[in-house]
Amino acid sequence: MKVSEFNRIGLTVALGLLVASCGARDEGSSTMTLDEALDLVTEDALIAHVSYLADDALEGRMTGQPGYDKAATYVAEQFAALGVEPAGNDGWYQQVPLVTYNLVPEASAVTLHINGEDVAVEYREQFAMGGDPLRESASVRAGLVFVGHGVHAPELGYSDYEGVNVEGKIVVMFNNAPGTFETTQRAYFASGETKLAEAVRRGAVGMIGLSTRESAEKYPWDKYKERIGVRPGMTWVTETGEASGYFPEIIATAGLNDEAAALLFARAPFDFEAARDAIEANRSVSVDLGIEATIAQSSTHDRLTSPNVVGLVRGTDPVLADEYVVFTAHLDHNGLETYRDGDKVLNGAYDNAIGVALMIETARVLAAAPPRRSVLFVALTAEERGLLGSEYFAEYPTVQQEAIVANINLDMPLFLFPVADLIAFGAEHSTLGAVAERAAIAEAFSFSPDPMPEENLFVRSDQYSFVKQGVPAVYLIPGFTSTDPDVDGDALVGDHLRNHYHEPSDDLARPFHWPSAERFARANARFGYEVAMDANRPRWHEGNFFGERFATP
Ligand SMILES: [Zn+2]
């Protein structure tokens, strides 16, 4: 195992060993029935994992920081104690090559060229810019073309690119996608990666982002601007210069506030508010704006690596053992917020120490009762920085890519009260949904449909990295209903999301209903077990949007 340059403190090792020696038991290598193995899951073990991972000593498990590396060591030691085999390409680890980058605001600018006049737009007050993951500096001057949402979806009868030519131009687009789209399709077309890929295909060289009225109301610029440039950007980057969601053809990008956005329409046939009206009415009104802009950026870079931790339970069937069900849970969180008074540690007890704890306990069950297929357990780095660890693993897995049959992800399962039901995001897309439902019911949970499809959680956590590789995936979480009729589950979940999500208060002081967590771990293990026992690989449903788009026949 490679010791990270950050992991210099002997205390790290000492602490890890201490926890390993009191938290882990040797289950022995004799195989059990699934029911016997399920009984190995205990509340105490879950509590021990979360207590270690969410402790202040791990300083919020920030990717690339010592606290994350301690957490990675802990997971590897737990896997080892369970008889899980190392399956990274560096022992337990798959080192993910990362770069952090910061904009140099003094050397970056947005200038509009309107009617022979240069109009400077002010950084942070009027524009946001994220820096470039690879280039030290770059500048582009080009004509502006307004392209609505920047969406091209002929299969849905919609295109923002009809009648405009963006070759060599800077495209100007609103965030999000038409409200008439079904939510998963809307999420796909709303993603920056999809939009940039389309713009690049049509020869665009830059992008300016605008806010819809809805998002400007939800995230007022005056609040948003406080966060501009606070945290460096991060992405993975290979030796050959491949980087996540990176399109070198796009030379520079910027986001404008409403005041600056209005200037772009100075010579257009309609003004900015009319453009917003059209977007709200799902009308495409793309038009050459008849002005030019210069976007210039300068960035600084730091390279680092951070590991995914990869464990393997080898399958018992001589043929199916060469296929893999992949469990994932992100191990990183958001570190320290040093500018805060008082508690500065983003402990991420729910996001996602508990998910990792559940995955370790799932590994305990499947190591004791190995199914026919092999099972990988991957504690992921850099989820909070943009699903980076999962994307890197799904693109460059430590096993043959085609051999991955399913992904089961865990991210922020909430056990704020005695839980009555489970939800599987993505259940409706593939045969995995029915398996998840059977597993929930076997552990006396009811099974609920996605209660907030508009949030698009299916495309917002690590399972989506596998979906993009064509792998059927599901993201299992507890539902919002309590077995206690006096508990308003919706209200408690809502309160957590509003007041504790990504806050220092997401720590061990939050309520945890451990019996529900234990039962969830059992359901999760049953789920993976059934998928790994089935002679047939899971399949996307016929004609499914994700299957059609991403799966290779
Ligand atoms: Zn998070």
CA of 380 to the centre of ligand 1 (A): 13
The answer on pLDDT for 42 being more than 90 is yes
pLDDT at 183: 83
User: Mean of the pLDDT values across residues 337-363?
Assistant: 94
Rg of the chain's alpha carbons, rounded to an integer?
24
CA of 384 to the centre of ligand 1 (A): 5
Better-scored residue on pLDDT, 27 or 114: 114
Going by pLDDT thresholds of 50, 70 and 90, the confidence category of residue 381 is very high
Q: What are phi and psi of 163, to 5 degrees?
A: 80, 5
CA of 420 to the centre of ligand 1 (A): 24
Cα 187 to Cα 458: distance, rounded to the nearest angstrom: 9
Going by pLDDT thresholds of 50, 70 and 90, the confidence category of residue 239 is confident
Cα 117 to Cα 185: distance, rounded to the nearest angstrom: 41
Q: Which of 48-62, 102-116, 174-188 has the lowest mean pLDDT?
A: 174-188
Q: pTM score, two decimals?
A: 0.88
CA of 308 to the centre of ligand 1 (A): 17
Q: Burial, 60: exposed, middle or buried (Cβ in 10 Å; 0-12, 13-18, 19+)?
A: buried
CA of 198 to the centre of ligand 1 (A): 28
pLDDT at 532: 98
CA of 507 to the centre of ligand 1 (A): 13
User: Mean of the pLDDT values across residues 461-486?
Assistant: 95
CA of 459 to the centre of ligand 1 (A): 14
The answer on pLDDT for 499 being more than 90 is yes
CA distances from 261 to 114, 227, 256 (A): 13, 20, 6
User: Mean of the pLDDT values across residues 351-377?
Assistant: 98
CA of 411 to the centre of ligand 1 (A): 8
CA distances from 280 to 254, 284, 314 (A): 22, 10, 52
CA of 535 to the centre of ligand 1 (A): 35
CA of 206 to the centre of ligand 1 (A): 30
CA of 254 to the centre of ligand 1 (A): 25
pLDDT at 9: 33
> Could you tell me which residues are beta bridge partners of residue 208?
172, 254
CA of 55 to the centre of ligand 1 (A): 17
The answer on pLDDT for 474 being more than 60 is yes
Better-scored residue on pLDDT, 451 or 483: 483
pLDDT at 553: 61
What one-character-per-residue DSSP string does 102-118 give? Answer: EE-GGG-EEEEEETTEE
Cα 246 to Cα 259: distance, rounded to the nearest angstrom: 29
Protein residues placing their CB within 5 Å of the ion ligand 1: 351
**Residue 424: strand, helix, or coil:** strand
CA of 87 to the centre of ligand 1 (A): 26
CA of 447 to the centre of ligand 1 (A): 24
CA distances from 377 to 50, 95, 329, 360 (A): 17, 15, 8, 8
The answer on pLDDT for 398 being more than 50 is yes
CA of 264 to the centre of ligand 1 (A): 35
Asked if residue 435 lies in contact with residue 500, where contact means CB atoms within 8 angstroms, the answer is: no
pLDDT at 4: 33
User: Mean of the pLDDT values across residues 333-360?
Assistant: 94
Cα 476 to Cα 328: distance, rounded to the nearest angstrom: 11
The answer on pLDDT for 13 being more than 70 is no
pLDDT at 206: 98
User: Mean of the pLDDT values across residues 283-300?
Assistant: 96
Residues in the chain: 553
Hey, what's the torsion of the CAs at 77, 82, 83, 86, to 10 degrees? -40
Going by pLDDT thresholds of 50, 70 and 90, the confidence category of residue 343 is confident
CA of 383 to the centre of ligand 1 (A): 8
CA of 333 to the centre of ligand 1 (A): 6
pLDDT at 460: 85
| Mean per-residue pLDDT of the chain | 92
Better-scored residue on pLDDT, 436 or 187: 436
The answer on pLDDT for 14 being more than 70 is no
Going by pLDDT thresholds of 50, 70 and 90, the confidence category of residue 18 is very low
State the DSSP code for 91: T
CA of 401 to the centre of ligand 1 (A): 27
Asked if residue 50 lies in contact with residue 512, where contact means CB atoms within 8 angstroms, the answer is: yes
CA of 460 to the centre of ligand 1 (A): 10
